[in-house]
Amino acid sequence: MKNQELAKIFYEIAEYLEMQGVAFKPYAYQKAALTLETLEESVEDIYRKDGLKGLEKIPGVGESIALKMEEYLKTGKIKYYQKLKKQTPVKIDELTAVEGMGPQKIKILYEKLKIKDLKSLEKAAQSHKIAPLFGFGEKTEKNILEGIAFLKRSKGRFLLGEILPMAKEIYQKLENLKEVEKVDMAGSLRRRQETIGDVDFLVISENPKKVMNFFVSLPGVIKVWGKGMTKASVRMSNGFDMDIRVVPKESYGAALQYFTGSKDHNIVIRKIAMEKKLKLSEYGLFRGSKMIAGKTEEEVYKALGMNWIPPEIRENRGEIEAAINNTLPKIIDYNDIKGDLHCHSNWDGGENTILEMADKAMEMGYEYIGISDHTKFLRIENGLDEKQLLEQHKAIEKLNYRFHPPAGGLNSKFQILHGCETNILNDGSVDIKDEVLEKLDFVIAGIHSNFKLSKEKMTARIIKAMENPNIDIISHPTGRIIKKREEYQIDFNEILKAAKQTGTILEINAHPVRLDLNDQNIRRAKEMGVKMIINTDAHHRDQMKLMEFGIAQARRGWAEKKDIINTQPLEKLLGYLK
């Protein structure tokens, strides 16, 4: 939990420093935040074991940042951060949540118009005070209003990627409690929905009172909304709420089914029970007063005449009919992935060397990794040019030789593939010459600029890229950033048709702020017979574990193993590339 809290603070410190025009330092804080977000070990554990020295060993954390972490762990505060907040008293997290609002803009708006928060920003934009400012203009003002409207629509929901790691920690604590016989996450979290309203836990215990007391006094609880004998509800310091319910052992399956939802799914399930003259509730499935199922979810679904349904697809999108007709797809499994083809190395400013990324891939049990650094159009990402790509190609050949020289090497089954993530320019061409692209094992192309083209132009732009025989994969195809940026204007049907025709693979970007393609688009792609690939877009080795979010999204989109090319061994994977 502290990892996420510190990451958030460090991101904010970076933004305050950027606002003050401080050089380099903001980048150091951003880097530390990025590491903390995905670090596997908790900083509390590291500090307990190895003290300050241990903190300094975290990649991207130097002495000065380690000291601030220590201060936070000891006092719950960072004086430096509070000083920065006082110097520029703006609600930086609120304002940066608006797409296109960076520290520079926030600074000017504060100095010229005393804008401190979302409310004053909206007021100023509505009364056209922003457009006349130097460097802003009509278009920016319009974008700000659109950004605020978009934020309001997603208000109160949290990213799955923020919530799941924290919920897993709490799950562990509950699991370790001796009064807890069994515990599960339920609700949208169990369904792995991309955003989460609140966290739901379900518990079997002979001593509910102990469990309730434990739950409401967990670290991070700042408010208790309610606490009864078997039910409690709390607010956490990070702003989200959690519910817990203790249920009898014999009802656990029925309760898990009920509290997993979705509501739309449950409504239809309950109707089916009624049609069979049965009554379904969180306590069980009853004929008259006799309980005929309830201990497990499987027996509840079975008694209703259908197969058990994976939580990720319980959205009333045809899964109930399929469960009755025995035609549920065998959706991709969390351990089906054999490699990750969208990984950045330190060649383009990522955190790790190619070898470190490859090591992590092997540790994850993969058979291959694809290195796909940014290319030259993206100067802020240190994009590589043709010459650097050719050098990188040689470096990767050498590494592969180390894995499997003729005499048998370190890991004869593992392979590094060489690719790159090119930029699709306005006219649909990419920023690297074809004669160099031809030499690589695979090529990704994505849009990283001019997001606001018309629907026709944007669709044509992407299709043109797909028609390039060297381009194998389109990264984050719709461009959305959850809670921040809407999809580009595109005709997704046309994109799918072109993907099918040209044999281009569409990416399911696993990063929790993207999840792009999303569940519904994955389903459409699958139905059209378009192949997909799940990639993490990792800029740091630890981000490779974000794969599980991509798989969850693929499951929500009904994708099967055969729809996702990186479930296949190397030879077959290569066969799917152009």
The residues of the shown chain that bind ligand DGT, judged by CB under 6 A, are 187-188, 193, 196-198, 200, 258-259, 261-263, 266-267
Cβ distance to ligand DGT smaller for residue 261 or 350: 261
User: Which of 187, 310, 419, 479 is close enough to bind Ca ion by CB under 5 A?
Assistant: 187
Q: Which does 488 bind (CB under 5 to 8 A by kind): Ca ion, ligand DGT, none?
A: none
Q: Shortest CA distance to 535 belongs to which of 510, 568, 514, 552?
A: 510
Site string for Ca ion, 128-167 (x = CB under 5 A): ----------------------------------------
Closest CB 255 distance from ligand DGT, rounded Å? 10
Q: H or E stretch including 197?
A: none
Supply the minimum distance, in Å, between the C-beta of residue 261 and ligand DGT: 2
Select from ligand DGT, Ca ion, none the partner in contact with residue 4, using the beta carbon and a kind-dependent cut-off of 5 to 8 Å: none
Cα(466)–Cα(472) distance, integer angstroms: 8
Strand 231-236 relative to strand 198-205: parallel, antiparallel, unpaired? unpaired
Q: Which two tokens stand for residue 73?
A: 């762990």
Least distance to ligand DGT from the beta carbon of 99, Å? Answer: 23
Nearer to ligand DGT, 143 or 193 (CB): 193
316 binds, among Ca ion, ligand DGT, none (CB under 5 to 8 A by kind): none
Q: How far is the CB of 167 from ligand DGT (least distance, A)?
A: 12
Binder among 15, 194, 200, 516 for Ca ion (CB under 5 A): 200
- CB distance 472 to 443 below 8 Å: yes
Crossing angle for the helix pair 43-56 and 2-19, nearest 10 degrees?
50
Chain residue whose CB lies nearest Ca ion? 187
Extract the runs of DSSP E, i.e. beta strands, from 218-283: 221-227, 231-236, 241-246, 279-281
Shortest spacing between CB 48 and ligand DGT, in angstroms: 33
Q: Using alpha carbons only, give the angle 236, 37, 521 rounded to the nearest 5 degrees.
A: 90
> Quick check: helix, strand or coil at residue 224?
strand
By C-beta, is 258 or 414 nearer to Ca ion? Answer: 258
Q: How far is the CB of 276 from ligand DGT (least distance, A)?
A: 17
Sequence-ordered strand ranges (E) for 388-430: 415-423
CB 504 within 8 A of CB 443: no
Q: Where are the alpha helices (DSSP H) in 289-384?
A: 297-303, 319-324, 354-363
Binding partner of residue 81 among ligand DGT, Ca ion, none, CB under 5 to 8 Å per kind?
Answer: none
Of these, 198, 315, 348, 542, which contacts Ca ion (CB under 5 A)? 198
CB of 270 vs ligand DGT, minimal distance in Å? 6
Quote the CA–CA distance of 236 and 223 in Å, as a whole number. Answer: 7
Choose among ligand DGT, Ca ion, none what residue 267 binds, the Cβ cut-off being 5 to 8 Å by kind: ligand DGT
What number of other Cβ atoms are within 10 A of residue 44's Cβ?
13
How far lies 381's CA from each of 306, 350, 353, 376, 422, in Å? 51, 9, 16, 8, 12
Structure tokens at 67: 């000291």
On the CB side of 361, CA atoms within 13 Å amount to: 31
Residue 184 found at the interface with Ca ion (CB under 5 A):
no
Residues 238-277 binding Ca ion (CB under 5 A) are 243
Between 3 and 266, CB nearer to ligand DGT: 266
DSSP string for residues in 498-521 = HHHHHTPEEEEE--TTT-BS-HHH
In the complex, what is the shortest distance from the CB of residue 184 to ligand DGT, in angstroms, rounded to a whole number? Answer: 12
Q: Output 19 or 196, the one with its CB closest to ligand DGT.
A: 196
Q: Could you tell me if 59 and 351 are in contact, meaning their C-beta atoms sit under 8 angstroms apart? A: yes
The least distance separating Ca ion from the CB of residue 251, rounded to whole angstroms, comes to 18
Nearer CB in complex with ligand DGT: 239/409 = 239
CB of 314 to ligand DGT, least distance (A): 8
Residue closer to ligand DGT by CB (options 154, 353) is 154
Q: Could you list the residues that contact Ca ion (CB under 5 A)?
A: 187-188, 198, 200, 243
